Chain A
Amino acid sequence: MTMLSRDELKDIITGFVPEAEFPEGTQLPEVVIPAAKLTELMEKLKSDSKTSFNYLISHTAVDFSTHFTLVYHLESVEKRHLLVVKVKLEDRENASVDSLAAIFPTCNYFEREVFDLFGIRYNNHPNLKRLFLEDDYGYPLRKDFRDEVNMIER
């Protein structure tokens, strides 16, 4: 039941993925990793008995106009520590990353939502279909999305 502090988490995660970066001054412990290391880190975070992050609270994406950032909020049910994992995707046209649906079943649907609203593709996703919108609608939550009929620009 031991909750890990920010520094302890930093050490453990650097042990898993040496390329991890840790922004300072954030509300919750954060780690930024390259996209290729995502699955590896998530598996280790879930299975390691000191971290045991087994509950994915939320997954979303943010569109900074030059790149996308994928954000994963994780919590450990037994130890009660929180972690934010971020992945930067530079390629806006063909943004893609590995799917975590096999590790966290709930991520399946968060990923479909991100695909629907941002257009980010997930490799090895069991059922990558749009969730809310029609197939030809475009990706509304992108900052460069324009819809002359339904959006009013001020």
Chain B
Amino acid sequence: MSSNIYDFSTLTGAIHTWLSGLMSPGWVTFTEFVLIGLVFLLMYALLGLFLVYLERKVCAIIQNRVGPNRVGKWGLLQTIADLIKLLLKELIPIRKSDPLLFNLAPFIVIICSFLAMAALPYGKGLQAIDFNIGVFYVMAVSSLSVVGILLAGWASNSKYSLIGAMRSGAQIVSYELSVGLSLLAIIVFSGTMQLSGIVESQANGWWIFKGHIPAFISFVVFLIASTAEINRGPFDLAEAESELTAGFHTEYSGIKFAFFFLAEYMNMFIVSAIAATVFLGGWMPLHIGNWEGFNQIMDYIPSVVWFFGKTFFIILIIMWFKWTFPRLRIDQLLNLEWKYLLPVSLFNIVLIAFLVLMGWHF
């Protein structure tokens, strides 16, 4: 039913044919690698800039003020100005720290988020890497960023950074469980871990509608757990604990701090993209039953727009959390995971398995 939506594989196929006409297959592959790499780098940077600006504007609206509006029209160039400032800052080296680990940590964090971004389905025919263990791959790769955080805390040679990093590490590792279990729920429904397969299985309706109650529970659990994963919102004790000690990235300045900062926003994007793909149908347009006319109109909107629209919807929800709720204490945070979210997710899995066996879903 979604076969009317524009298929980007015609475009990519055309580029491939054109390049094959120009050079030998080895070089074609190499050129394509370079092209895709450049496209992703560009998208990463632009999305990062835009997300920082969006956060400041959303924050301002919630707080009844205007936000950046001086630098460029509507303040659009504000992030670029901030970036230039960060680039020009002095890189303060720390004595008696391990220079290799100290410099390696921000790179690990950025590389992990790049790796995860590469596997997302941005539109029909627009997916760079389509593993058959797609969801598993994305989760595994985003877990690697914990290593970067712990390295940053350790290599800073400061007891406070270490405490902050340990807490952040404990938080991330705990909430991994809930994220995994909630994604597992949809994998049970769709029967495949391949991201394009999950999207295809939502051709006749998004899983959040088809899977009714258990899918909704999974969605809520996923939202909460992933906000904790990315150290945001009411779970940002590790970095906003700067009332007493500062977080794991205190000792970083300049471009290295910019990496941590950027990686945090891009992680938010990745997590929202996963939620949009798995629960809200990815690039699938909203089709309602047999309303052919409505479905035709929905098909006109390109799949990329659908994907980004849904992702930004979830990003806005995550931002809304941060600016409304006070912070949780670390023990309350871990309590929430181990005593509430984990049992709920486990029960949910059993429920879903039962539902799938009985065929009681749409």
Does a CB–CB distance below 8 Å link A and B in the complex? no
